[in-house]
């Protein structure tokens, strides 16, 4: 009551979460990306999403000296489908913008939102869904 009231913001506004089906350290990097997003650190969000995707690509045994080459290697080996290849390259590009000082632009909130969402979907498809399907295979095999 009165005129001395102050607005209080509590951070993070959303508690970071990630499935334990995502392998370490990819999971920890993805959680860090979420923390960066929660405090509106758009460049840092993008850079951490890129790092999470590269960690995932390496776990999936993408080979090459650059992230671009590693993503292309996974697509060539049919480990990722073309849509996931495109998503990975989108995250790679946004992450590059966030991480490199020689890029004349900053990552926008919309770009950071996209990077985080695409990263979530990339990890979901490559780790979480595959783990769920592997757990269901015995039940599916015994079904009439």
Q: What is the pLDDT along the chain (144 residues), one digit of tens a residue?
A: 567 777 777 665 677 889 999 999 999 999 999 999 999 999 999 999 999 999 999 999 999 999 999 999 999 999 999 999 999 999 999 999 999 988 788 999 999 999 999 999 999 999 999 888 888 877 767 766
Neighbours of 53 (CB within 10 A): 30
Please give the Cα distance from 91 to 111 (Å, whole number).
9
> What pTM did the predictor assign?
0.84
DSSP 106-132: PPPHHHHHHHHHHHHHHHIIIIIHHHH
Contacts of 83 by beta carbon, 8 Å cutoff, 6+ apart: none
């Amino acid at each position: 009551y009165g005129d001395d009231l102050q607005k209080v913001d509590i951070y993070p506004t959303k508690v970071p979460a990630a499935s334990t089906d995502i392998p370490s350290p990819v999971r920890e990097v993805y959680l860090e990306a979420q923390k960066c997003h929660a405090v509106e650190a758009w460049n840092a969000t993008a850079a951490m999403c890129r790092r999470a995707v590269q960690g995932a690509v390496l776990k999936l045994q993408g080979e090459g000296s650059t992230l671009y080459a590693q993503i292309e290697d996974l697509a060539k080996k049919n480990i990722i489908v073309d849509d996931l290849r495109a998503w990975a390259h989108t995250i790679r590009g946004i992450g590059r913008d966030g991480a490199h000082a020689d890029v004349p632009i900053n990552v926008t909130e919309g770009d950071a939102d996209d990077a985080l969402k695409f990263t979530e979907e990339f990890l979901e498809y490559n780790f979480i869904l595959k783990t769920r399907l592997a757990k269901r295979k015995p039940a599916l095999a015994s079904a009439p």
